[in-house]
Amino acid sequence: MIRSVKVLFLTIGLSLVFSTVARSQCPAGFEFAGRLYASTGPGGSGNHEFKGYRDVSLPAGTKLDKSYHQATVNGAGGGASTALQASQIPAAIHIVPGGSEGGPKRWAVSDPKLEAVAYDDSDRVTQWKFSMYMYADAGSGTLDGVSSGGADVHVDVCFKPKP
């Protein structure tokens, strides 16, 4: 019983730490919408690569301050490349991409989209969804006969609410 309680508190504590770390990456005046995430199998396996879209819904009723435009972004790492430019990130959205690097591991993100997914009776947007194309690669081989392990790509998504 005591062990179960300790595990529960440890799990809750770690969840709070990781949640706080992600939220702390949002600039002042922004809210954390969520994390887009994808991962691969180990290098050399049949699923060593991920290519696809991930999305997150902003809280219902969110009104966006579209005066904000992100000035810079690093959309790739580990030797991968991307055509992503900060000017492509939708107004009111701030992203913080990252992923696995080192050895053969690499990641990239592109094609950010913000779309309305719900409306009220007056045709005003009541729900937004943000999505991006994501790429992660653990490498197709092994290093000295040892798998490189899996790779991941993630994007912390923040938004600026209208005051």
**pLDDT band, residue 51 (cuts 50/70/90):** very high
Give the predicted TM-score (pTM) of the model: 0.80
What is the chain's mean pLDDT, rounded? Answer: 85
Strand partners, 126: none
- Say what the pLDDT of residue 161 is: 97
In sequence order, which residues have a C-beta less than 8 Å from that of residue 61 and are 6 or more positions away?
Answer: 126, 127
Residue-wise pLDDT for 78-94, tens only, equals: 999 999 999 999 999 99
Residue owning tokens 């991930």:
54
Q: How large a percentage of the chain has pLDDT more than 90?
A: 68
47-56, 58-67, 82-91, 118-127: which range is least confident on average? Answer: 47-56
At 150, is the secondary structure helix, strand, or coil?
Answer: coil
Residue 49 CA to residue 47 CA, distance in Å, equals 5
Beta carbons within 10 angstroms of residue 85's beta carbon: 12
Beta carbons within 10 angstroms of residue 102's beta carbon: 11
**pLDDT band, residue 47 (cuts 50/70/90):** confident
**pLDDT band, residue 43 (cuts 50/70/90):** low
Q: Check: CB of residue 133 under 8 Å from CB of residue 108.
A: no
Residue-wise pLDDT for 137-162, tens only, equals: 988 755 544 456 789 999 999 999 99
- Say what the pLDDT of residue 12 is: 44
